[in-house]
Amino acid sequence: MRAGLILFVYLEKFMPVVVVVGMQWGDEGKGKIIDLLAENVDVVARYQGGHNAGHTICFNEKQFVLHLIPSGIFHENKLCVIGNGVVLDPQALVDEMRQLEETGIVLEGRLVISDRANIIMPYHGTSDKGRETRGGFQKIGTTGRGIGPSYADKIARAGIRTCDLRDEAYLKDRLLANYQEKQKTLKNLYNIELPEFSSLFDELLSYRDTILKYIADTHVLLRHQIAQNKNILCEGAQGTMLDVDHGTYPFVTSSNSTSGGACTGLGISPKKIDKVLGVIKAYTTRVGEGPFPTELSDEHGQHLGKVGREFGATTGRARRCGWFDAVVARYGVHLNGIDALILTKIDVLDGFKTIQVCTGYKYKGKIFSDMPADSKIIQNCEPVYTEYEGWSENTVGIQELDRMPDNARRYIDSLTELLETPFMMISTGPDREQTIQLDSLF
């Protein structure tokens, strides 16, 4: 009995469930990192967001952008799970599946979609765009993909879920109730006419058979995988500052992109999460509207955007660029419970004479070292900077820390000290090989 207990505790210690989150406003380079980590895991599971995300992966001189399917799909034999916390646009899903299949990737037996995920319908996109362009609310600069309205329906208990696809009569009733409501509101608010109900329903039915093949109770599947000591990587989309509860509200996405979202978005108990990793860029970017204290509207910002190729992987929009913000990063370390960080795009800072890091926000004579709730304070604060000397050497593709220029190492060491968190990996370019591995996870 006693020996059995000891063995059980020993195994528990070595069955890692790891959550990977973005530490800023998204676009930290999570796609590459998840693809790299995926090599050593059995399952990659996406827990929130929808096709608003764009995860770019480069290998064999090719580039792939994934929006919905977890970034582990490029490694053979890895199971890829789309969790209940994700909102699923059937057309975007089927398109992405087709693109992957065209590159020779077999999805059957490898892709599993939760039977509890909510579905994005075309009227969600219409409503998203209507509110952004014609509503009385502040413009958020959304991706226009219907993410907010579909999560709103989920919370209002009006959503349509993947399991509803199994019952055509129920699906029809549910969609009709939604259609009638949306038809009235969209007409009244924005004078928009929806297409005929039958065309909407037929379109949904046209995706049904493809999707039904992949749906399952993913909570049960993950529970069994955990019980068999499999390594599971929970993939977050967007970033901490876009979290609907903890980000720069209202300029956020509509889901919990922080680590807690992995529990609700996959049905995994918090007791089963072993490690949380944060992916953080060596500078900061954001897409869309909203406060961004370290934003640079000068030639330095333009340089970061150009060298870092800071264009949205989903919408192609130019990202706003600025210096590293340690207030944001510290907030993310605490909120997510970060065990180790992964620094990306350090090479983009090559050639800067000096580099600034924001360590506090000054507002009306007060210094905030913690993140204020009020977006107006974040918008109007003055960043307090510490200056570091830059480096002129080229760091692209460096694979050993010893080969990094002294000032780049000093910059990395200072970030470690400021955030009181170690770096596990440093990315020096988009390819898998362009990485400095400082510690291993498994």
Q: Which of 56, 126, 218, 238 binds ligand IMP (CB under 6 A)?
A: 238
Contact between 54 and ligand IMP by CB under 6 A: the answer reads yes
CB of 120 to ligand IMP, least distance (A): 11
Q: Are strands 275-281 and 87-88 parallel, antiparallel or unpaired?
A: unpaired
Alpha helix locations (H) across 43-156?
90-102, 122-134, 147-155
State the residue number with the nearest CB to ligand IMP: 288
Q: Which of 204, 57, 49 is nearest to 123 (CA)?
A: 204
**Considering beta carbons, is residue 4 or 136 the nearer one to ligand IMP?**
136
**Considering beta carbons, is residue 85 or 148 the nearer one to ligand IMP?**
148
Q: Is 55 a catalytic residue?
A: yes
Catalytic residue among 27, 89, 128, 164: 27
Q: Which of 207, 224, 223, 234 is nearest to 81 (CA)?
A: 234
**Considering beta carbons, is residue 26 or 278 the nearer one to ligand IMP?**
26
Binding segment for ligand IMP (CB under 6 A), chosen from 22-30, 71-79, 162-170, 208-216, is: 22-30
- The number of C-alpha atoms within 13 Å of 298 and in the hemisphere containing its C-beta is 3
Rounded Cα gap, residues 35 and 23, in angstroms = 18
**Considering beta carbons, is residue 81 or 237 the nearer one to ligand IMP?**
237
**Considering beta carbons, is residue 27 or 115 the nearer one to ligand IMP?**
27
The angle, 0 to 180 degrees and rounded to 10, between the axes of the packed helices 122-134 and 168-190 is 20
Strand partners, 354: 389
Binding segment for ligand IMP (CB under 6 A), chosen from 211-219, 234-242, 294-302, 303-311, is: 234-242
Contact between 52 and ligand IMP by CB under 6 A: the answer reads yes
Residue 272's contacts (CB-CB under 8 Å, 6 or more residues apart) are 17, 226
Site string for ligand IMP, 255-294 (x = CB under 6 A): --------------------------------xx------
Q: Which of 253, 294, 356, 434 binds ligand IMP (CB under 6 A)?
A: 253
Contact between 34 and ligand IMP by CB under 6 A: the answer reads no
Strand partners, 64: 57
Pair 279, 22: CB distance under 8 Å: yes
Catalytic residue among 51, 55, 124, 246: 55
**Considering beta carbons, is residue 139 or 213 the nearer one to ligand IMP?**
139
Q: Which of residues 95-154 bind ligand IMP (CB under 6 A)?
A: 140-143, 145, 147-148
Rounded Cα gap, residues 225 and 42, in angstroms = 9
CA angle 259-260-262, nearest 5°? Answer: 75
Strand partners, 81: 45, 112
**Considering beta carbons, is residue 115 or 325 the nearer one to ligand IMP?**
325
Rounded Cα gap, residues 134 and 155, in angstroms = 24
What letter would DSSP give residue 196? Answer: P
Q: Site size for ligand IMP, by CB under 6 A?
A: 21
Q: Is 69 helix (H, G, I), strand (E, B) or coil?
A: coil
Contact between 88 and ligand IMP by CB under 6 A: the answer reads no
What letter would DSSP give residue 372? Answer: -
Q: Which of residues 383-402 bind ligand IMP (CB under 6 A)?
A: none
Binding segment for ligand IMP (CB under 6 A), chosen from 57-65, 186-194, 201-209, 246-254, is: 246-254
Q: Is 295 helix (H, G, I), strand (E, B) or coil?
A: strand
Contact between 70 and ligand IMP by CB under 6 A: the answer reads no
Pair 207, 91: CB distance under 8 Å: yes
Summary count for the chain: helices (H), strands (E): 13, 20
Q: Which of 26, 83, 90, 130 binds ligand IMP (CB under 6 A)?
A: 26
Which residues contact ligand IMP (rule: CB under 6 A)? 25-27, 52-54, 140-143, 145, 147-148, 237-238, 242, 251, 253-254, 287-288
Task: Tell me which residues are annotated as active site.
Answer: 27, 55
